[in-house]
Chain A
């Protein structure tokens, strides 16, 4: 059974600092997704990573995928308050590529 683990679960960081969120998954998969969820809101797609070594950047966020290590990272550069949200990674189910398995989420809080 595919399992997806994120760490940390909670992250409180100061504005201007850098940090990385990690997403590990247990079985082979070629596609990984990052989503953002603001409090009381829906999930918004951030990045789609489709191959080993894929790297995508949007503003202060950069996501990468290492399929051999079964690891994706979401790096935050010079954090600002507007990045405060919960971030989820999700991976294709190994046996049914229509189904995504979501991680537990990382709740990020950026303070001045």
Chain B
């Protein structure tokens, strides 16, 4: 299995632009998680899905952030409009019922 796939790996954009991050979970996994990691705040869970349904979005910072999972093999995290404080590494992870989460390589986002 290829593992969790994320794209792009690096994204540099200007403040105010829309950013879309993409994730393909491991085949057969039924839960998908979006995390954000920064030096100041560490690893934060933003939102997670179970069987394509959003279960807990309490970590989403504000309305500028949205996430979708239209099917079992694809999810997006969108930031509109982006701000410099959104600069971070965004990880996607997936798991089956046994809860061990497998992380993707991450997307390093820089908002200028």
Residues of A within 8 A of B (CB): 31, 33, 35, 41-45, 48, 88, 90, 92, 96-100, 102, 104-105
Contacts and interface: CB of A to CB of B under 8 A. Distances in A.
Contacts of A45: 100-102
Main secondary structure of the interface of A (DSSP, over half): strand
B28 to A, nearest CB: 16
Determine which residue in B43, B48, B105 has the highest number of CB atoms from chain A within 10 A of its CB, and name it: B43
A102 B105 CA distance: 18
Given A48-B100, A104-B42, A96 B56 contact: yes
Nearest to B55: A98
A98 B42 contact: no
A100 B42 contact: no
Interface of B: 31, 42-43, 45, 48, 50, 55-56, 91, 93, 95, 98-106
A33 B48 contact: no
A99 B100 contact: no
A85 B59 CA distance: 26
Contacts of A44: 103
A44 B99 CA distance: 14
B103 A97 contact: no
